[in-house]
């Protein structure tokens, strides 16, 4: 069956084509550009084209793939760099040079690569949908081959496996491949959600100590221009203690993405000592790539993330930035002449966003193992106005907020996380783990917060009376709080200090607080602060 293009308005194209469904994937025009049906009116379908459609004409043919937009899931995704439609960018570059031409749909997985396929199953075994039927080694992980549907195993082709050949045969002569497709807009199933319990160590002292994240949790990072969103996301992508990282560059500058790729190709994973890229999947839809594919890119990426979660792994999904994604949604919605909601965003912004964010979580997988999908999502509110709809919609579903502060960034206090406005609802749960590392973790955290708050109050006083007008005890407090801010909370991503273990984090704060207490006791005993500080300075010479 086929149809024809009847009208074109930017990336929105109407086609005359009966029997389509909302969400169907469509090939548009002689160049076979990929599009998705977004509206139906009788036999006229409105299609959002994901690729540059310059040169497309009225009357050009349209065909349907008879199904929704999908991604291909199988071994070999790790280390991959894809666009928002899961097209491997290195392959596209080989075939069309630096500027991608439309209509290319190379298979995202490498079919020439051989995998050593092992299975604990045997012919006659019954497979449930989503169950593991064998494993191959992919870099540092055991990649589970998951059966997309139930069936009875008739034959297993263990040994050397190439993805074009079936890995097994199910009853009824049905081939079972080492890969399968999955519609990007459907969350992958699991047995049940579990409450997140294990901290996700980011290596950032400020986060791990004050605002911890859990595996399966969601944090949002709102910040104005230049406050360090990209650097923070990329630093966490390097050091987070997870098995797989999926990084989506969504509508941000292309050169930042290029920088990330160069860096990740060279760096090694501090824990497994293997190339960092081997545990990373990158989905790039930079600001110069088509807007409609940007909208689909986060769904493409999150589906790949869920796939690795389903193997019982800990996966971290990072997006930079959701605001650019929401802008794409707004642009598409405006082209469809939908009724605009707040700030021109479509009225379904909130539900689309939470539908996506709710794909995070710790789960018991269909194979009975435990996996987690955590998210850290950057938001770049225009003009740094946090009351705008995207930040607010994210806040409703996130468990942690890392608020980046332009004033801190201006003073080059990085990461510019505002300790008064940020929060983590995971703090209490994380504490159970951290208190095993140091029994006073919670107490020290409270101390640290208190010192920072009292410093704020004292600073106002100091502005009036001057530092000399403060009592020794207050001056000591200001000194300790300053040390906490500058030595402890600041962490330069471009030095050795970029990553801190929880052990070193807690030792660091213990040292700072102990010094404070020692000096405070001496003051109580009648010593003078200036003498004590001079003594300390002489001692350290
Ligand atoms: N953790 C950090 N350590 C050192 N410098 C940082 C850090 N975070 C941000 N910066 C500095 O701030 C600049 C802007 O950061 P960036 O992440 O690009 O901001 P945003 O993505 O919010 O616009 C960086 O180029 C870098 O110089
Ligand atoms: Mg940025």
Nearest partner of 236 among 211, 224, 251, judged by Cα: 211
Any atom of ligand 1 within 6 Å of the Cβ of 225:
yes
State the pLDDT at residue 99: 65
Which atom of ligand 1 sits closest to the CA of residue 223?
22
Distance of CA 157 to the CA centre of its chain: 36
- Distances in whole angstroms, Cα of residue 307 to Cα of each of 146, 279, 315, 355, 385: 9, 14, 9, 17, 35
- DSSP of 92-134: HHHHH-SSPPTT----SS-SS-EEEEB-S--TT-EE-TT-EEE
State the pLDDT at residue 101: 66
Are the beta carbons of 169 and 155 closer than 8 angstroms? yes
Å from CA of 379 to ligand 2 middle: 9
State the pLDDT at residue 98: 67
Beta carbons within 8 Å of 78's beta carbon, 6+ residues apart: 138, 139, 141, 244, 278, 279, 280, 281
State the pLDDT at residue 127: 93
Which atom of ligand 1 sits closest to the CA of residue 231?
17
State the pLDDT at residue 143: 97
State the pLDDT at residue 275: 87
Which residue has tokens 């990209």? 230
Å from CA of 492 to ligand 1 middle: 9
State the pLDDT at residue 124: 93
CATH of 192-425, one of 3.40.50.300, 3.40.50.20, 1.10.10.10, 3.30.450.20: 3.40.50.300
Please list the rounded mean pLDDT of every run of 10 residues in the chain (541 residues): 90 92 92 91 92 92 91 96 89 70 81 94 93 94 94 94 95 94 96 97 97 98 94 94 94 79 81 86 84 88 98 96 92 90 94 94 95 97 90 94 96 96 96 94 95 93 87 94 96 94 96 95 92 84 70
Any atom of ligand 1 within 6 Å of the Cβ of 217:
no
State the pLDDT at residue 416: 97
- CA pair distance 42, 19, nearest whole angstrom: 9
State the pLDDT at residue 444: 96
CATH class for the domain made up of 2-70: mainly beta
State the pLDDT at residue 466: 86
Q: Map residue 144 onto helix, strand or coil.
A: strand
Residue range 441-540, CATH number: 1.10.1140.10
State the pLDDT at residue 100: 63
Å from CA of 58 to ligand 1 middle: 47
Which atom of ligand 1 sits closest to the CA of residue 493?
3
Å from CA of 387 to ligand 2 middle: 20
Which backbone phi and psi does 318 adopt, to 5 degrees? -120, 135
Q: Residue with the nearest Cα to atom 12 of ligand 1? A: 228
Q: Show me where the domains of the chain are located.
A: 2-70, 192-425, 441-540
- CA pair distance 105, 108, nearest whole angstrom: 8
Å from CA of 378 to ligand 2 middle: 9
Any atom of ligand 1 within 6 Å of the Cβ of 203:
no
Q: Which residues surround ligand 2, an ion (CB under 5 A)?
A: 229-230
- CA pair distance 402, 191, nearest whole angstrom: 31
Å from CA of 461 to ligand 1 middle: 32
Count of Cβ atoms closer than 10 Å to residue 477 Cβ: 20
Which atom of ligand 1 sits closest to the CA of residue 320?
21
- DSSP of 471-519: -HHHHHHHHHHHHIIIIII---TTSGGG---HHHHHHHHHHHHHHHHHH
Which atom of ligand 1 sits closest to the CA of residue 256?
18
Q: Residue with the nearest Cα to atom 11 of ligand 1? A: 228
Q: Map residue 81 onto helix, strand or coil.
A: strand
Taking each helix axis from N to C terminus, what angle separates 441-465 and 502-524, rounded to the nearest 10 degrees?
Answer: 50
Beta bridge partners of 299: none
Q: Residue with the nearest Cα to atom 8 of ligand 1? A: 228
Å from CA of 228 to ligand 1 middle: 4
Helix (H) or strand (E) holding 264: helix 254-266
């Amino acid at each position: 069956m086929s149809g024809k293009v009847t009208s074109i308005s930017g990336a929105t194209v109407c086609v005359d084509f009966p029997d389509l469904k909302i969400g169907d994937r469509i090939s548009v025009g002689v160049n076979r550009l990929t599009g998705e049906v977004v509206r139906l009116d009788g036999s006229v379908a409105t299609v959002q084209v994901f690729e540059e459609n310059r040169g497309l004409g009225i009357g050009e043919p349209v065909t349907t793939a008879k199904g929704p937009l999908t991604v291909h899931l199988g071994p070999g995704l790790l280390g991959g760099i894809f666009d928002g439609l899961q097209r491997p960018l290195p392959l596209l570059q080989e075939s069309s040079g630096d500027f991608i031409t439309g209509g290319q749909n190379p298979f995202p997985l490498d079919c020439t690569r051989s995998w050593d396929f092992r299975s604990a199953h045997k012919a006659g075994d019954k497979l449930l949908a989503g169950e593991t039927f064998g494993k191959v080694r992919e870099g540092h992980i055991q990649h589970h081959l998951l059966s997309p549907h139930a069936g009875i195993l008739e034959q297993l082709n263990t040994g050397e496996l190439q993805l074009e050949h079936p890995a097994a045969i199910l009853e009824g002569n049905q081939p079972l491949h080492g890969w399968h497709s999955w519609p990007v807009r459907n969350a992958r199933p699991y047995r049940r959600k579990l409450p997140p319990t294990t901290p996700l160590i980011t290596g950032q002292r400020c986060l791990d100590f004050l605002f911890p994240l859990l595996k399966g949790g969601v944090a949002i990072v709102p910040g104005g221009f230049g406050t360090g969103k990209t650097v923070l996301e990329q630093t966490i992508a390097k050091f987070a203690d997870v098995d797989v990282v999926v990084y989506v560059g969504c509508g941000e500058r292309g050169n930042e993405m290029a920088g990330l790729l160069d860096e990740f190709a060279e760096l090694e994973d501090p824990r497994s000592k293997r190339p960092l890229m081997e545990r990373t999947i990158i989905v790039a839809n930079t600001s110069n790539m088509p807007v409609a594919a940007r909208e689909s890119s986060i769904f493409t990426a999150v589906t790949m993330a869920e796939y690795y979660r389903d193997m019982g792994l800990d996966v971290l999904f990072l997006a930079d930035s959701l605001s650019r994604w929401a802008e794409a949604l707004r642009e598409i919605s405006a082209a469809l002449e939908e009724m605009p909601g707040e700030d021109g965003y479509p009225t379904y912004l909130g539900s689309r966003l939470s539908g996506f964010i709710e794909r995070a979580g710790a789960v018991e997988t269909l194979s009975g193992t435990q996996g987690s999908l955590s998210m850290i999502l950057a938001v770049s509110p225009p003009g740094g106005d946090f009351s705008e709809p995207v930040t607010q919609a994210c806040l409703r579903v996130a468990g942690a907020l890392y608020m980046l502060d332009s004033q801190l960034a201006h003073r080059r206090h990085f990461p510019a996380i505002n300790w008064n406005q940020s929060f983590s609802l995971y703090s209490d749960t994380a504490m159970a783990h951290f208190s095993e590392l140091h029994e006073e973790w919670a107490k020290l955290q409270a101390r640290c917060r208190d010192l920072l708050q009292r410093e704020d109050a004292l600073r106002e006083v100091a502005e009036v009376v001057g530092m000399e007008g403060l009592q020794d005890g207050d001056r000591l407090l200001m000194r300790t709080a300053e040390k906490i801010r500058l030595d402890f909370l600041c962490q330069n991503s471009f030095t050795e200090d970029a990553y801190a273990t929880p052990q070193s984090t807690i030792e660091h704060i213990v040292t700072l607080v102990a010094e404070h207490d020692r000096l405070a006791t001496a003051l109580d005993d009648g010593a003078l602060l200036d003498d004590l500080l001079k003594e300390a300075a002489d001692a350290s010479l």
